Structure 1
Amino acid sequence: MSYLAEQDRQQRITLLVILGLGSLMIWHAPFGALLLYPFTILSTWFHEMGHGLSAILMGERFDSLVIYPDGSGVAMSLVSPDRTALQDAIIAAGGPIGPALAGAALIASSRTMKGTRIALAVLGAALLLTTAIWVRSVTGWLVLPIAGVAILAIARNANADQQRFAIQLLGVQAVISVWAQSGYLFTQGGMLGGMPQISDTGAISAALGLSYWFWAIVLSAINIAILWWSLRYAFRR
């Protein structure tokens, strides 16, 4: 690889890291979630789909997904009374870990142009399909299909560099979505739709023991490792 190609590779990685950190800073600033509203809704979609798909993998039924206008959301699943504590913990962990795995797959796909186009098409179609099947809120009905159509348009009409940057940016946003509301991850719970709600780490703590702080640190470390691996793979010589 030439010096210029190596320099370009480092610049792309640096830009993605800066955009990711910048997004987190803006998300936690006053009105930040509003400024990044499409990404806020996407981060909620990634998170709640992680819960829903984890429930399916545990043999339970993913019933519906609600996204509120403020960007918060909830995945509703019908679970059996004889489920194990481990199943509860895996479903709870699906919210923070699922988006990281999906984001890593998106970033890794950018290693080739064929993979990039396929990933964009799959993501755009997934937004449209999951909205039709599971979403039960006006905010989700309005924002997610628009995002899906926009991503499909990028897959069809954008040039190679634009497609690669788009899928990498979306992948980074998916991975960092776990920290979009860091107060939620590092607390036992909060208010959701006007009702008290246990946090994901609080649910894992209740199922497996140890502090919610411990599980928040573990989940954060896993997500950082996943992001590092995906960037390393995508930009490997």
Structure 2
Amino acid sequence: MKPVVKREQTYIVAFAVLTIIAWQTRIGTMALLPFTLLSTWWHEMAHGLTATLLGANFERLVIFADGSGFAEHSGGLWAVGQAIVAAAGLLGPSVAGCAMIVASRSRRATRLALLALATALLVTALIWVRSVTGWIVLPAFAAAALYIAARGSAKWQRIAVEFLGVQGAVAVYQDLGYLFSPGAVVGGHVALSDTGRIADALFLPYWFWGGAITIAIVAMVWKSLQVAGRY
């Protein structure tokens, strides 16, 4: 059994590396555009839901066709709260993605992960999403997840959950420079990056927070692979 476990872990790592490499090229970005949009959803939902937990009102989520997007919330947050919301957009998708990778350990958990993802996609599309791109892409992913959960073989259910988990785990690396730059382009306009927001709200430069978050993401992915490899 151990060789099988190691082989599946290798596949997961390969998914992650190939996805990150593809995102750094124009052709790869176009080929992965649906998954790029899904990664944007992971990222912006983490912002919005965290803001809600901290007492703000999650107003809307917008996903643009170029893969950028934003989550808008109202209600004042202290500097620490703003930093937490910014960090959540970077760490939240990795937490959710790693949870899906761990879920691939058993068929029951795998099916539940697919059903949970489909439900989240549909609910958020109805409540918060306010863009045509989001209304098209998110229900399509939800339908695919429901179909695989209901009709897919155990093998394809596991592959789907592992691949989608990887998309969440490495969502922040759509642009390798994003974590280590003070600004980013959203909908054609320059805005503070998440690490720039953290630095602005707290202390220490944006590149320090980019490094710290990268270490945290690598540690989470490594741990999830260890857990997923235990039968």
Which TM-score band (shorter chain)? Answer: over 0.9
Deviations 1:134-183 (A, max 9, x none): 11111111111101100111110001111112111111110101111222
What is the alpha-carbon distance in structure 2 between the residues aligned to residue 219 and residue 229 of structure 1?
15
Superposition pairs for residues 6-155 of structure 1, below 5 Å? Answer: 6-80=2-76, 83-155=77-149
- Which secondary structure state, in structure 1, belongs to the residue aligned with residue 62 of structure 2? strand
What is the alpha-carbon distance in structure 1 between the residues aligned to residue 7 and residue 113 of structure 2?
23
Deviations 1:187-216 (A, max 9, x none): 001221122210000000011110100000
Shift of 1:222: 0.6
Q: TM-score w.r.t. structure 1 length? A: 0.95
- Which secondary structure state, in structure 1, belongs to the residue aligned with residue 26 of structure 2? coil
> What is the aligned partner in structure 2 of residue 163 from structure 1?
157
Where do 5+ consecutive residues of structure 1 fail to align? none
- Which secondary structure state, in structure 1, belongs to the residue aligned with residue 112 of structure 2? helix
Shift of 1:79: 2.3
The number of equivalent residue pairs is 231
Where do 5+ consecutive residues of structure 2 fail to align? none
What is the alpha-carbon distance in structure 2 between the residues aligned to residue 143 and residue 39 of structure 1?
9
Identical counterparts, % of pairs: 45
What is the alpha-carbon distance in structure 2 between the residues aligned to residue 133 and residue 44 of structure 1?
17
> What is the aligned partner in structure 2 of residue 178 from structure 1?
172
Shift of 1:34: 1.0
Equivalent AA in structure 2 for residue 132 of structure 1: L
Q: Is the 8 A contact 1:99 1:177 kept in 2?
A: yes
Q: TM-score w.r.t. structure 2 length? A: 0.97
- Which secondary structure state, in structure 2, belongs to the residue aligned with residue 236 of structure 1? coil
Q: CA RMSD in A?
A: 1.0
> What is the aligned partner in structure 2 of residue 222 from structure 1?
216
Q: Is the 8 A contact 1:33 1:71 kept in 2?
A: no
- Which secondary structure state, in structure 2, belongs to the residue aligned with residue 182 of structure 1? coil
What is the alpha-carbon distance in structure 1 between the residues aligned to residue 166 and residue 189 of structure 2?
31
Deviates more, 1:40-49 or 1:5-14: 5-14
What is the alpha-carbon distance in structure 1 between the residues aligned to residue 17 and residue 163 of structure 2?
12
- Which secondary structure state, in structure 1, belongs to the residue aligned with residue 46 of structure 2? helix
Deviates more, 1:91-100 or 1:108-117: 108-117
Equivalent AA in structure 2 for residue 63 of structure 1: E
